[in-house]
Structure 1
Amino acid sequence: MKKLVSLLLICCVAFAVAGCRHKKESPYNRTDDKQDYERLLNTHVFAACQNIMKPYALYSLATLNKRPTEKDPYYKITFVNGPCKGKVLFTKDVILKTEPLEGGAVTKGTVVLRNYWNPSNPYDKEKTDRWHKAVVSSTARMDKGIIDLEFPRDKNDFMPAREGAYLHNVRFITQPEIKDVRTFLF
């Protein structure tokens, strides 16, 4: 009986020691700033917070609560950051999917989404609260990590504001497909 109790006690201690050992982290579960930044942007949608349905609308990250139906054509969203943080809104002006511009082929006239803050730190999660639509005006400086963008204000704005942005602050709009708002008279 003593041997059985001591054997049982040894087994319990062995299991306790084995359970307390520090588990090695799997190399596949590593995370870094770029992955966290992309995960943040890919798990939310971009919704117009100010100047809704205008070419110069301000977009912020939002959680998609309800998709449109045949009876109700509006998305129901809740903003997670930006000037409208916490606000629930019914809107049609939602960008569902974006992709990083880095390494992608981009042409003049492509409509993209640009981070308003344009931080030099590539993956600054603190500055993801304000975005604007822009049109690519030149790709000449892409080898330096900068792309030139135009910010038209309406369909008749042929001399829009122009600015250079770091490539890591610009995203392709993949869903829905968006065209340049301006109507050129050629």
Structure 2
Amino acid sequence: MKKLIPFLLVFCTLVCLAGCRGSKEAPYDRSDYKQEYERLFRRNVFAQCENMGTFYATYCLARLDQKPHGEDPRYKVTFLRGPLKGKTVLTRRVITKTLPVDAGPLPKGMVVLRNFDNPRNAYDTEHLDRWHLAVVHDTTHADKGHIELEFPRDANDFMAARESIYLHNIRYVVKPEVKDIRVWL
């Protein structure tokens, strides 16, 4: 009997290990709303669709069909959302790369892209139609999830309209670099 006890312990241990090894966990799923939302912005660009040629122009999500080349410095884009949905246009005003605002620095005077609809839901893909350029004015409430932005209309608009915007509705403009249009003396 004494010889049987160690044998049973070893056998039970092997059975338990084999049983644990046989159970499989669910595969890792990467298709959540946040990743789909960011993937949409990474694959597409923002192109001007209203008030073209001005700082307060409206930008909409568009698919980049053709980059500029030697003879023609314009982008060929097809709008995915907004008032020109489905139309293909040639334009020079395209924002090719943006990043979400995170805990990184947002210095006063930095130009960012903000969602016009400003939905409370961070990943509300139904309200991705209209975006505007804005200038960071005040970040004292960034820890609460929102900052104050200015919306200048032209180079002489020193008292621009201001609005508090949720951080998840703001994106850094990476390419091309955009500067504040106002002329400071």
In structure 1, distance between residues paired with 2:120 and 2:108: 23
In structure 2, distance between residues paired with 1:80 and 1:24: 38
Partner-residue secondary structure (3-state), 1:168: helix
Partner-residue secondary structure (3-state), 1:98: strand
In structure 2, distance between residues paired with 1:123 and 1:30: 15
Deviation at 1:25, TM superposition (A): 4.9
Question: What amino acid is the match of 1:97?
Answer: K
User: Taking structure 1 as reference, are residues 173 and 24 closer, same or farther at Cα in structure 2, changes over 3 Å only?
Assistant: same
Find out whether 1:45 has 2:56 as its counterpart. no
Query: Hey, what does 2:31 align to over in structure 1?
Result: 31
Find out whether 1:79 has 2:103 as its counterpart. no
Larger Rg: 2
Question: How much identity, in percent, do the aligned residues show?
Answer: 54
TM-score computed with the length of structure 1 as normaliser: 0.84
Query: Hey, what does 1:171 align to over in structure 2?
Result: 171
* Matched positions, count: 162
Partner-residue secondary structure (3-state), 1:34: helix
Query: Hey, what does 2:137 align to over in structure 1?
Result: 137
Q: Deviations over 1:147-175 (max 9, x none)?
A: 10000001111111100100000000000
Consecutive unaligned residues in structure 2, runs of 5 or more? 1-23
Pairwise CA RMSD: 1.2
Deviation at 1:53, TM superposition (A): 1.6
Query: Hey, what does 1:128 align to over in structure 2?
Result: 128
Deviation at 1:30, TM superposition (A): 2.5
Partner-residue secondary structure (3-state), 1:42: helix
In structure 2, distance between residues paired with 1:58 and 1:94: 11
Question: What amino acid is the match of 2:88?
Answer: V
Partner-residue secondary structure (3-state), 1:48: strand
In structure 2, distance between residues paired with 1:149 and 1:171: 12
Question: What amino acid is the match of 1:145?
Answer: G
Deviation at 1:31, TM superposition (A): 1.6
Query: Hey, what does 2:146 align to over in structure 1?
Result: 146
Query: Hey, what does 2:90 align to over in structure 1?
Result: 90
Question: What amino acid is the match of 2:37?
Answer: Y
Which contiguous aligned blocks of 4+ residues in structure 1 show a shift greater than 6 angstroms? Answer: none
Query: Hey, what does 1:99 align to over in structure 2?
Result: 99
Consecutive unaligned residues in structure 1, runs of 5 or more? 1-22
Q: Deviations over 1:18-59 (max 9, x none)?
A: xxxxx97521x3221111111111111000001112000000
Partner-residue secondary structure (3-state), 1:38: helix
Question: What amino acid is the match of 2:179?
Answer: K
